């Protein structure tokens, strides 16, 4: 199976999961839980499946956030709501948001088939060395098809993400260097967005840029070099290989059908601003060919 299939699957499926970080239904849920900051909601909602873990565990699992930023919100989040309540609130927000974005599609035959296929793919993911995936995989799968699909896509994205962290660590690319090199490719946001949103100081970022220059990945003006592009592609290709298990489990034909089925839903979510501040077509955003 061509490893690039794993990247194509991620590019199409990811927005259906990721809309939970931007949908107003989620923000309303966090307000009901009296979270004082959306950052707390992000860290708590994504890590709640692991239980009442501390900041060090969340920092290690998420990898590219400044540990000091994580420590502002974890473990304080568990004083506002239990992990169980957060998981329930998150799923309720997903239910409301997907019903708004997709309308009658949530009760369609296509949705049920897509959910079954995605769950079968997630069932082919080995949990070893994948802490976020394993934690979410231990949660019960919802009954409703659209929620079961979202749950499966969450498992698949965390499985890929855990593998991506493995690659970065094994190649000696720090959290800040990973962000700075990705920003330099020009494939998504500018460097300042990644620096600020992940909580890194200007000094931290400057150190990462200098490290990348020493590695030969950035030139004197901060632009990415041919060696840097090759290094980034090697990271992504290794991530693809580590993310291939679910698609090997169901076969390329079933994977292609799943991608074709979900693509209109991804586009509907994007068209309605479901990944604000993202804009445009998700697959173009992630730089993955159709």
> Closest Cα to residue 12, out of 225, 287, 249, 262?
262
Average pLDDT over the chain reads 93
- Does pLDDT of 278 surpass 70? no
Q: What are the tokens at 176?
A: 């800040």
DSSP, residue by residue, 264-286:
HHHHHHHHTTTTTT--S-HHHHT
Report the pLDDT value the prediction gives residue 275, as an integer from 0 to 100.
83
Please tell me the predicted confidence (pLDDT) of residue 187: 85
Closest CA relative to residue 40, chosen from 86, 94, 88, 84? 86
pTM over 0.85: yes
Reported confidence tier of residue 3, pLDDT bands at 50, 70, 90: confident
Residue 38: pLDDT over 80: yes
- Lowest pLDDT segment from 22-26, 93-97, 279-283: 279-283
**What would the pLDDT profile of 75-102 be if each residue is shown by its tens digit?**
999 999 999 999 999 999 999 999 999 9
**Rounded Cα gap, residues 275 and 271, in angstroms:** 9
State the average pLDDT over residues 256-275: 95
The DSSP code for 107 is: G
> Residue 259: pLDDT above 50?
yes
Q: What's the pLDDT tens digit per position in 210-257?
A: 999 999 999 999 999 999 999 999 999 999 999 999 999 999 999 999
Q: Give me the mean pLDDT over the 49-67 stretch.
A: 97
The distance between the two most distant Cα atoms of the chain, rounded to a whole number of Å, is: 55
Cis before residue 199, ω within 30 degrees of 0? no
Q: Is 270:278 a contact under the CB 8 Å cutoff?
A: yes
Distance CA 275, CA 266 (A): 10
**Residue 38 structure tokens:** 């959306």
Residue 252 has a pLDDT of: 96
- Helix or strand or coil: residue 218? strand
């Amino acid at each position: 199976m061509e490893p690039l299939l794993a990247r194509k699957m991620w590019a199409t499926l990811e927005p259906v999961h990721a809309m939970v970080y931007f949908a107003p239904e989620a923000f309303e849920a966090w307000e009901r839980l009296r979270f004082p900051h959306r950052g707390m909601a992000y860290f708590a909602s994504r890590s709640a499946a692991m239980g009442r873990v501390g900041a060090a565990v969340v920092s290690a699992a998420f990898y590219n956030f400044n540990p000091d930023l994580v420590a502002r919100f974890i473990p304080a989040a568990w004083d506002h709501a239990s992990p169980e309540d957060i998981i329930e609130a998150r799923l309720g927000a997903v239910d409301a948001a997907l019903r708004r974005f997709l309308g009658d599609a949530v009760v369609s035959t296509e949705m049920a088939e897509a959910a079954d296929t995605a769950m079968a793919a997630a069932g082919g993911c080995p949990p070893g060395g994948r802490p976020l995936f394993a934690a979410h995989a231990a949660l019960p799968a919802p009954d409703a098809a659209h929620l079961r699909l979202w749950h499966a896509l969450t498992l698949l994205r965390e499985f890929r993400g855990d593998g991506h962290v493995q690659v970065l660590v094994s190649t000696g690319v720090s959290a800040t260097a990973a962000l700075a090199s990705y920003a330099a490719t020009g494939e998504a946001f500018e460097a300042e967005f990644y620096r600020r949103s992940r909580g890194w100081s200007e000094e931290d970022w400057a150190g990462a840029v200098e490290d990348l220059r020493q590695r030969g990945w950035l030139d004197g003006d901060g632009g990415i070099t041919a060696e840097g592009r090759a290094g980034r592609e090697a990271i992504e290709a290794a991530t693809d290989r580590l993310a291939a298990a679910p698609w090997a489990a169901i076969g390329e034909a079933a994977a292609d059908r799943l991608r074709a089925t979900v693509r209109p839903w991804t586009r509907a979510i994007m068209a309605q601003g479901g990944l604000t501040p993202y804009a445009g077509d998700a697959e173009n955003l992630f730089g993955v060919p159709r």
